[in-house]
Amino acid sequence: MMLLKSTLLFVVTFLLSDVDSSTRFESVNYPGRYIRHQDYKFKLHADDGTDNTFLADSTFNVHLGYATSGFSFEASNFPGYYMKHESYLLDLMIPGSSQREDAAFSGSPV
């Protein structure tokens, strides 16, 4: 699914657990669709509530910026693997020292 910049708004839902603060990203323009990782790439898929793998792939542990600021999102089911942006795409990977800034995100309420 090709997404235009104007459709890239997400509701960030924080899930409370005993271990970490975790979150999911639900599309504003496509309600019921969440960002998930699959094959180390990020996709926007619908959650029908029946797939435990989907829930794990779309849940991220929130950490203070992996670099110097912002927030970083670690895959809940792939410890050490973070959401990382590069060339306008998101990947799931273990960021090297030169990629720490690419694994830190900031945002503001709309």
Q: Using one digit for the tens of pLDDT, what is the confidence trace for 47-75?
A: 888 888 999 999 999 887 666 678 889 99
Gap between the Cα atoms of 72 and 60, Å rounded = 9
Q: 78 — phi, psi (to 5°)?
A: -135, 75
* Residue 34 and residue 23 in contact, taking contact as beta carbons nearer than 8 Å: no
Gap between the Cα atoms of 56 and 104, Å rounded = 21
pTM confidence score: 0.79
How many CB atoms sit inside 10 A of residue 3's CB? 11
Q: What's the pLDDT band for 37 if we cut at 50, 70, 90?
A: very high
